[in-house]
Amino acid sequence: MLMLILLVPALAWASDCVDGGGGGSDTGRFQHILETQGALVAVLMSFGFGIVASLTPCVYPMVPITVSIFGATETKSRLRGAALSGTFVLGIAVLFTPMGAIAGKTGMLMGSALSNQWVIVGLAVLFLALAASMFGAFELALPAGLTNKLSTVGGVGFKGAFVMGLVMGLIAAPCTGPFLTGLLMYIGTTGNVVLGSAALFSFSLGLGVIFFVAGAFAVNLPKGGAWMMGIKWVSGVGLAYMAFSYLRDKFEVVRSLVDHPSYAFGALAGAVLLVGVVLGVIHMMAERRKSPIAHLSKPMKLASIIPAVAGAAMLFTWVGLNHNIDPNAPEITWLTNEEEALAKANAEGKPVLIDFGAEWCAACKKLEHQTFPDPNVRSEAQRFVALRVDATDDEDETINKLKDKYKVVGLPTVIMLDKTGKEVVRFNDFVQADKFYAAMKCNVASGGSDVVGMQ
């Protein structure tokens, strides 16, 4: 049960993380969360990620030793213990927060890099390697001598607590690294320095919660055991899914393997994932002390990986598809030349639909695979002249002039012009088919006179 509870939110977060993996300042599902639910929700997600990272085998066993080194558990005053523990957590935050700022600052560079297929392949390989480490294929660890030396840095008191917090991130790097990699990747897609700093600060607080509780309240933490293996297993599945998602969103041949909107495929995906989870649970049970099935631990872990990752890839892709597909609905005819599109619209007296997107823009892909295939959208699009602008190459002067003309600051951007050429609707992120269809109907029905911009 614990395995199932951990797996669903972890994979949901991974899905958000990767599906947000493209675009400038307004791109991706993470940015969608910011716009629809606020930055607070995104920051809280980072906090939860920090808590999960603190429960991994590289961090959790060190909690009682660490808090005893800077004296939080020995002090007679609980208030002083809380202050020492808070200082320790502040040290962690000082180490990690600048990473978020840097990731946010380099966001546009990351968006450009994600247009390169070899960068995508490299990222997929990186996440697969991190997943393999979570599954126990090899151990990511600092040299023992360096770890021992770092663990003695600091000392008793507030200065010691702060310094210990600074070095904790380095000591725990083998287990926090995979979490941080995913978090920094998705921060980079937003291009938002403030958000990046806040998210990593929140991650630091989540990572430090367990240290604060142990030091401030002298709590005896549960012993490590099989449940920690469960956390590593769930983390491995999530990281492997992220690797697949990068490949899926870049290569159509990979997407074709899982791009099936039928409910039968959804049921099959759920069944495959369930098989993987059940095998993973057996693996976790076999890890318990004096378990009668201890000999099944490694075989069950190996057997669980493929169905768990495949099931996650199938199910989370299926969930993101438009299941209301009518094969008889007319296709949208996209033009790629603006002058041609405007001339055609002027000659035929039609409004114009302009879609700015890019290969590295995951939210653009969502529009392409969920919104535009909707039968109502496809039918209504026949009243428009449709123009698609591929902004993958950010050094293309022609494309940059179009972006300046239409004041495009992030991707995706979808604009509707009325019959007079006046902008009446603009979407700066993924939009559901029903809302998009309503905007199209409103544009046409108004004759291009009374429609206000929609966000």
Structural domain contains residue 20: yes
Nearest to 422 by CA among 404, 434, 437, 406: 406
pLDDT (tens digit per residue) in 82-135: 888 888 889 888 888 888 888 777 755 555 666 677 878 888 898 898 888 888
* Owning domain of residue 440: 334-446
Same domain, 215 and 351: no
pLDDT (tens digit per residue) in 24-77: 333 344 444 544 455 677 788 889 888 888 887 667 777 776 767 665 555 667
Same domain, 222 and 346: no
Q: Which residue has the higher pLDDT, 137 or 398?
A: 398
Same domain, 168 and 34: yes
Structural domain contains residue 432: yes
Q: Is the pLDDT of residue 299 over 80?
A: yes
- SS3 category, 426: strand
Structural domain contains residue 282: no
Q: Give how many domains the chain has, as a whole number.
A: 2
Q: Is the pLDDT of residue 324 over 90?
A: no
Structural domain contains residue 433: yes
User: Rounded to whole angstroms, how far apart are CA atoms 437 and 371?
Assistant: 9
How are strands ordered across the β-sheet holding 423-427? 334-335, 385-390, 352-357, 413-417, 423-427
pTM summary value? 0.60
pLDDT (tens digit per residue) in 265-297: 999 999 999 999 999 999 888 888 778 888 888
H-helix segments, 55-192? 63-69, 78-105, 107-113, 117-134, 144-151, 158-171, 173-188
Q: How confident is the model at residue 152 (pLDDT cuts 50, 70, 90)?
A: low
User: Rounded to whole angstroms, how far apart are CA atoms 440 and 345?
Assistant: 15
Query: What is the reported pLDDT for 26?
Result: 33
Structural domain contains residue 373: yes
Structural domain contains residue 269: no
CATH code of the domain containing 338: 3.40.30.10
H-helix segments, 189-262? 193-217, 226-250, 252-255
Tell me how crowded residue 398 is: count the other CB atoms within 10 A of its CB. 11
Same domain, 201 and 345: no
Pairing of strands 423-427, 413-417: antiparallel
261: exposed, middle or buried (C-beta count within 10 Å: 0-12, 13-18, 19+)? Answer: middle
* DSSP state letter for 395: T
Structural domain contains residue 386: yes
Domain boundary residue, one of 226, 259, 280:
226
